[in-house]
């Protein structure tokens, strides 16, 4: 019988790409939960179009403890949970911190309680490079000391990691936190990509939306950073590579290869790309230059961050395969696909 895996946030950006990888690269049966607060059920149709398979999905809020409990009762043979569901906008979290604490912390607490009660012993948590805060020494490893969180959103990820670490001391649960750097791009088919309810503010969708005319222009935030061209430097990593890492992490736990109940892995490309280099990479694939202006720094941004991924490589056997060219190509393909609707 197929092992059942619950993916929370299954209609969202990274969750949907991970479901596609799970359905096409593994023999797991996938169940999805999402409250559609930042996504829509059409994601499920796209997953079906790409994989030819239907995902059992329930639209429910993970903050609703009774609903989560009912779900676990319905599936007593769940083997693991990949927990993507969270609110993730940094500026929104600054404007409305309680919303972020309530949603991201309560949903995690409810899920962990159900995992304990129903003996679902394998848990993967979406963490973020934002837990590192404003670090000075690059690249960052999993042992780099965390600095103060720069936003309530980032703090929910620091708390989430601590909650899981404390929680697994007293039960059978084996957990991994994956710290994503800047996931970008779309499925190679161009048929699935980032499709949030609110217009995105992240660099790559802003570039593609401007190029297609949904946005008149965008601003490069800062030209006086101490980087090779003065614009800020980040570690962009293809969403399909991120998705694949979840399968490796899941198998690592299910095959009892872990030596500790809670471990942390960086997921990045290991390389820094500046904003201007990212734009150049887009221009090279799309053969058109989006309308942009150089502006001042964005509040809360750091100059540079990129990952050391040697631990993920050595222990999970994960190496990202797709570079900035493929990230831009797929993101552009997806943007053009969206324009057809
Ligand atoms: P997303 O917004 O596309 O997906 C998250 C999904 O969770 C959405 O579909 C949303 O409707 C759902 N959701 C939110 N709260 C919920 C709740 N209480 N109950 C049920 N569903 C709920 O975001 P994403 O980019 O796919 O991010 C997935 C995870 O990865 C998040 O935890 C995010 O914090 C983390 N992460 C994302 C990035 C990034 O840049 N995209 C980087 C680092 C970490
Ligand atoms: C990338 C670079 C901007 C838009 C965020 C979260 C982080 C993590 C990943 C979840 C920066 C510049 C952007 C624009 C620009 N998410 N930029 N003009 O801020 O590195 O990270 O997503 O965990 O927590 O903070 O990503 O894509 O917003 O920005 O110049 O219109 O592009 O200043 O240097 P960021 P981003």
Is 153 an active-site residue? yes
Token digits for 286? Answer: 């799309």
3-state SS, residue 2: coil
Question: How many angstroms does the Cα of residue 84 sit away from the middle of ligand 1?
Answer: 5
How far apart are alpha carbons 114 and 309 in whole angstroms?
A: 32
Residues contacting residue 17 through CB under 8 Å, at least 6 positions apart: 187, 192, 239, 240, 242, 243
Query: 187: which DSSP letter?
Result: -
pLDDT score recorded for residue 10: 98
Pocket of ligand 1 contains residue 39 by CB under 6 Å: yes
Ligand lying nearest the CA atom of residue 99:
1
Residue 36: C-alpha distances to residues 42, 86, 191, 217, 254 (Å): 10, 11, 19, 29, 29
Set 153, 155, 225, 252: catalytic member: 153
Task: Check whether 341 has a pLDDT greater than 80.
Answer: no
pLDDT score recorded for residue 300: 84
With cut-offs at 50, 70 and 90, classify the pLDDT of residue 136: confident
> What does pTM read for this prediction?
0.98
pLDDT score recorded for residue 199: 86
Q: For all residues of the chain together, what is the average pLDDT?
A: 97
Question: How many angstroms does the Cα of residue 9 sit away from the middle of ligand 1?
Answer: 6
Question: How many angstroms does the Cα of residue 46 sit away from the middle of ligand 2?
Answer: 26
Task: Check whether 252 has a pLDDT greater than 90.
Answer: yes
Instruction: Give the CATH number of domain 4-183+238-267.
Output: 3.40.50.720
Please, what's the b/e burial string for 158-188 (b: 16 or more CB within 10 A of its CB; e: otherwise)?
bbbbebbbebbeeeebbbbbbbbbbbbbbbe
> 197 burial class (0-12, 13-18, 19+ CB within 10 angstroms)?
exposed
Residues with CB under 6 A from ligand 2: 88, 90, 128, 130, 154, 182, 201-203, 206, 218-221, 232, 234, 275, 298, 301
Pocket of ligand 1 contains residue 132 by CB under 6 Å: no
Helix crossing, 65-74 with 106-117: angle to 10°? 30
Token digits for 121? Answer: 């012993």
Rg of the chain over CA atoms, in angstroms?
19
């Amino acid at each position: 019988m197929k092992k059942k895996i619950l993916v929370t946030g299954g209609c969202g950006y990274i969750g949907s790409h991970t479901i596609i990888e799970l359905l096409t690269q593994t023999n797991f049966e996938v169940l999805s939960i999402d409250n559609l607060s930042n996504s829509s059920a059409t994601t499920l149709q796209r997953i079906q179009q790409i994989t030819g398979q239907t995902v059992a999905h329930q639209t429910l809020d993970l903050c609703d403890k009774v609903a989560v409990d009912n779900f676990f009762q319905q599936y007593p043979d769940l083997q693991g949970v990949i927990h993507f569901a969270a609110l993730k906008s940094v500026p929104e979290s600054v404007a409305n911190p309680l919303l972020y604490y309530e949603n991201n912390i309560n949903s995690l607490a409810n899920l962990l309680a159900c995992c304990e009660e129903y003996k679902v012993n394998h848990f993967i948590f979406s963490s973020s490079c934002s837990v590192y805060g404003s670090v000075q020494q690059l690249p960052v490893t999993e042992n780099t000391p965390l600095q103060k969180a720069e936003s309530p959103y980032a703090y929910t990820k620091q708390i989430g990691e601590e909650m899981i670490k404390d929680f697994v001391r007293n039960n059978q649960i084996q957990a991994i936190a994956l710290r994503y750097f800047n996931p970008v791009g779309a499925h190679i088919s161009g048929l699935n990509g980032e499709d949030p309810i609110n217009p995105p503010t992240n660099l790559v969708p802003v570039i593609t939306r401007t190029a297609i005319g949904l946005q008149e222009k965008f601003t490069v935030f800062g030209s006086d950073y101490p980087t090779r061209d003065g614009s800020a430097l980040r570690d962009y990593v293809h969403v399909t590579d991120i998705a694949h890492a979840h399968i490796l992490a899941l198998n690592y736990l299910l095959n009892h290869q872990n030596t500790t109940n809670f471990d942390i892995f960086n997921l990045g490309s290991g390389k820094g790309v500046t904003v201007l280099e990212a734009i150049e990479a887009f221009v090279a694939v799309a053969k058109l230059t989006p309308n942009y202006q150089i502006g001042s720094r964005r509040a809360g941004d750091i100059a540079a961050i990129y990952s050391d991924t040697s631990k993920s490589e050595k222990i999970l056997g994960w190496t990202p395969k797709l570079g900035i060219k493929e990230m831009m190509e797929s993101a552009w393909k997806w943007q053009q696909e969206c324009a057809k609707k």
